[in-house]
C-alpha cells in the first residue's frame, strides 16, 4: 500500500502487488524522497489504484546523507499526506514540495529548518490557508510596515488589539521576512532564528484545518 503525491492526480492511494519481488516493474524505485515516474491503473468502484510500473525520474542521493535533511523532507511529506485533497491536482503544492526536496538534496543546501519553514508557509498559501501578515483578519485594518503585530495562526493571521489581539507577537522585520518567504517559498528570505517561529505557525494552521499532529 502506497500513498503517492502526483503532479497530475494529486494525492493517490495505490496498491503495488509483489513490489518487493518485481525488479522488472519497480526495480527498487519505491523509495521516498525521490521523484518517480509511475504508471497507475484505476479500478472501477475502488479508491485504490494499481501501481503497474515505477522508475526514479529524479534521484536525490545528497538528501539521504543527512539525517536533518531527511527529517525535514519527511515532515513536509507528512503535511502533504494529511492536508492535500485526494485525486485533486495541486500544481502550486507540487511545485513547493519539489523545490523543497531539490533544495534539501543540493550539495550547498541551506539549513533544513529554514528550508522546511519557508516551504511550510508557501504550502499554506497553496492550500488556501495562508497567514495574512498585512492586515487584521477581523476588521481588515492594515498593519503599518514598521509596527509590531499580534498573530493568531488559527484565526488566519494578524489580529489587532481593538479586535482582541493574540498571544504571539511579531516584530516588523520578522513579519516582513515571513511574508516574503510565504510568497516565494525561498528559505533564504528567512533568518535561522525565524525557522522555529514559522514552523510553529505553520503546524498550528495545519492542525486546525487538517488535523496534522
DSSP codes, 47-71: EEEEEEEEEEEE--GGGGG-HHHHH
The rounded distance, in Å, linking the Cα atoms of 210 and 124 is 11
Would the pLDDT of 24 be above 80? no
The β-bridge relationship of strands 168-170 and 149-152 is antiparallel
Contact criterion met (CB below 8 Å) for 15 and 94: no
Alpha helices in the chain, H assignment, sequence order: 67-83, 91-105, 112-127, 172-184, 192-210
Can you give the pLDDT at residue 111? 96
Can you give the pLDDT at residue 141? 97
Please give the CATH topology (third level) of the domain spanning 67-213.
de novo design (two linked rop proteins) (1.20.1440)
The rounded distance, in Å, linking the Cα atoms of 67 and 71 is 6
pLDDT, mean of residues 181-187:
96
SS3 89: coil
Would the pLDDT of 213 be above 90? no
Q: In Å, how far are 32, 53, 112, 138, 200 from 95, measured between CA atoms?
A: 17, 23, 18, 31, 22
DSSP 8-state class, residue 197: H
Angle at 14 between CA 11 and CA 15, to 5 degrees: 165
The CB density around residue 53, as the number of other CB atoms within 10 Å, is: 17
Can you give the pLDDT at residue 122? 97
Q: How confident is the model at residue 42 (pLDDT cuts 50, 70, 90)?
A: confident
What's domain 1-59's superfamily in CATH?
Answer: Nucleic acid-binding proteins (2.40.50.140)
Can you give the pLDDT at residue 1? 86
Contact criterion met (CB below 8 Å) for 39 and 83: no
Can you give the pLDDT at residue 17? 77
Backbone dihedral angles phi then psi of residue 154, each to the nearest 5 degrees: -65, -35
Can you give the pLDDT at residue 58? 94
Residue ranges covered by each domain of the chain? 1-59, 67-213
Can you give the pLDDT at residue 19? 58
Amino acid at each position: 500500500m502506497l500513498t503517492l503525491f502526483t503532479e497530475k492526480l494529486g494525492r493517490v492511494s495505490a496498491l503495488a502487488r509483489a513490489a518487493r519481488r518485481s525488479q522488472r516493474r519497480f526495480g527498487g524505485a519505491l523509495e521516498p524522497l525521490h521523484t518517480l515516474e509511475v504508471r497507475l491503473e484505476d479500478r472501477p468502484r475502488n479508491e485504490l489504484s494499481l501501481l503497474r510500473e515505477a522508475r526514479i525520474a529524479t534521484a536525490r542521493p545528497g538528501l539521504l546523507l543527512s539525517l536533518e535533511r531527511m527529517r525535514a523532507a519527511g515532515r513536509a511529506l507528512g503535511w502533504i499526506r494529511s492536508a492535500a485533497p485526494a485525486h485533486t491536482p495541486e500544481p502550486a503544492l507540487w511545485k513547493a514540495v519539489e523545490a523543497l526536496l531539490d533544495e534539501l538534496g543540493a550539495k550547498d543546501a541551506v539549513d533544513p529548518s529554514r528550508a522546511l519553514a519557508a516551504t511550510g508557509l508557501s504550502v499554506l498559501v497553496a492550500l488556501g490557508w495562508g497567514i495574512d501578515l498585512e492586515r487584521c483578519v477581523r476588521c481588515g485594518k492594515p498593519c503599518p510596515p514598521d509596527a509590531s503585530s499580534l498573530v493568531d495562526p488559527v484565526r488566519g493571521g494578524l489580529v489587532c488589539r481593538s479586535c482582541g489581539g493574540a498571544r504571539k507577537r511579531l516584530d516588523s522585520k520578522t513579519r516582513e521576512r515571513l511574508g516574503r518567504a510565504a510568497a516565494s517559498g525561498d528559505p533564504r528570505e528567512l533568518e535561522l532564528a525565524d525557522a522555529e517561529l514559522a514552523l510553529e505557525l505553520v503546524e498550528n494552521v495545519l492542525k486546525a484545518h487538517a488535523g496534522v499532529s
